[in-house]
Amino acid sequence: MNTQEYIDQAEQALLHTYNRYQIVFDHGDGVYLYDTDGKKYLDFVSGIGVYALGYNVKEYNDALKAQIDKILHTSNYYYSAPLASAAKKLTEFAHMDKVFFTNSGAEAIEGALKAAIKYAYNKNHSHEHEIIAMDHSFHGRTCGALAVTGKQAYREAFEPLICDVKFATYNDLDSVKALISDKTCAVIMETVQGEGGIYPGNKEFIEGVDKLCKENDILLILDEIQCGMGRTGSNYAWHKFDVKPDIMTTAKAVGGGVPVGAFLLTDKVANASLVAGDHGTTYGGNPFVCAAVDKVLDLFESGHIIDNVVNVGEYLYEKLEEICAECGHAVEHRGVGLMQGIEFDVPVADIINSALKNGLVLINAGTNILRFLPPLVITRGDVDTMTDILRTALKEAFN
């Protein structure tokens, strides 16, 4: 079939919840994607931060092929060697104590919220709990995750959702203080807001919220689904600060391409919240996805991925600053590591479409923000190629 035939076939069967670009990707290699017509694209999206190691990595592929030949699934009534190894490595990598593997980031958020609510219930045996979340945040599309997502347009049609949620202003510590009550059981926030527009949390805010939580025995939940796994230049973005979340979530890059997420807890919370029968998953933490997590963590270490993010991230920042200085429609450049964005005074759809036409994959974060989430293995040369194509795309979009 040709490209249009694939698209027509998909549209006949799929529920239309995405306005997809008119491309059918066939395979990837390194930091490039190839469509069914053989056209080559430099990838600065990495499946929305999933393909951290790039495409067609032999060591990763071999690990998954080997596990396929053994066993894919057993259920969580039993142990497996990949589960034991991945759990040990991930808790150490994240500086946390316990982990529960899920199938997605949204499920990780659901589990984190359940753990926080159960912890509060065990403490006071009350069902009247409040959660503080952040305006412009994004935590997922399931009902619990939607309840703490700070975009009313996403929530409106599905309310009422879970327990009372109040929304503070990100990077405004006083706005969090003002919402704390004796019913507050948790504060949930992204360490770097992603979908909301690429807003890094500042030191005063992140550490201030952590202090408030500890002073009031409120649990701090940090969502690191997009900004974690080396994306900002440390294992997890909160590692840059003098903080310790009670619960954190991770997904996307942690599996290198397979659908897997996790929520991780301190011993304090793990020992006083969820117990056998409180939470579960049929597929979560199966041998196949855990083999992927295990190998991803090995490759992060052997490939010095964090060092590369710091090095190339600084260069990307410099080059995007140049782009902003050249483009009269650029309003602000934000971000850290290999999680950056440029806000424009106009919608960015035309820029993205022009970039695609010229062999560069980009996405937005909101209507006016161009988002850069490349594989964590990109080089400075890849950044140069990207900026050359982006300059062409900007000229085409604005002329």
Task: Give burial (CB, 10 Å; 0-12/13-18/19+) of 14.
Answer: exposed
52/110 same-domain check: no
295/311 same-domain check: no
Task: Give the per-residue pLDDT at 229.
Answer: 98
End residue of a domain, out of 287, 302, 317:
302
Q: Degrees (nearest 5) of the Cα angle 171, 173, 175? A: 100
Domain count of the chain?
2
What is the domain extent for residue 165?
A: 70-302
Task: Give the per-residue pLDDT at 388.
Answer: 98
Task: Give the per-residue pLDDT at 159.
Answer: 85
338/312 same-domain check: yes
Task: Give the per-residue pLDDT at 110.
Answer: 97
Q: Is the pTM of this model over 0.95?
A: yes
Task: Give the per-residue pLDDT at 392.
Answer: 97
Rounded Cα–Cα distance for residues 239 and 223 (Å): 13
Low-confidence ranges of the chain (pLDDT < 70): none
**pLDDT (tens digit per residue) in 21-61:** 999 999 999 999 999 999 999 999 999 999 999 999 999 99
E strands present in the chain: 25-29, 32-35, 40-43, 98-102, 130-134, 164-168, 184-190, 192-193, 199-200, 219-223, 247-250, 261-265, 330-336, 339-344, 360-361, 363-364, 369-372
Task: Give the per-residue pLDDT at 256.
Answer: 97
Q: What is the DSSP letter of 78?
A: S
Task: Give the per-residue pLDDT at 161.
Answer: 84
243/98 same-domain check: yes
C-alpha distance from residue 202 to each of 173, 215, 238, 336 (Å): 10, 20, 11, 11
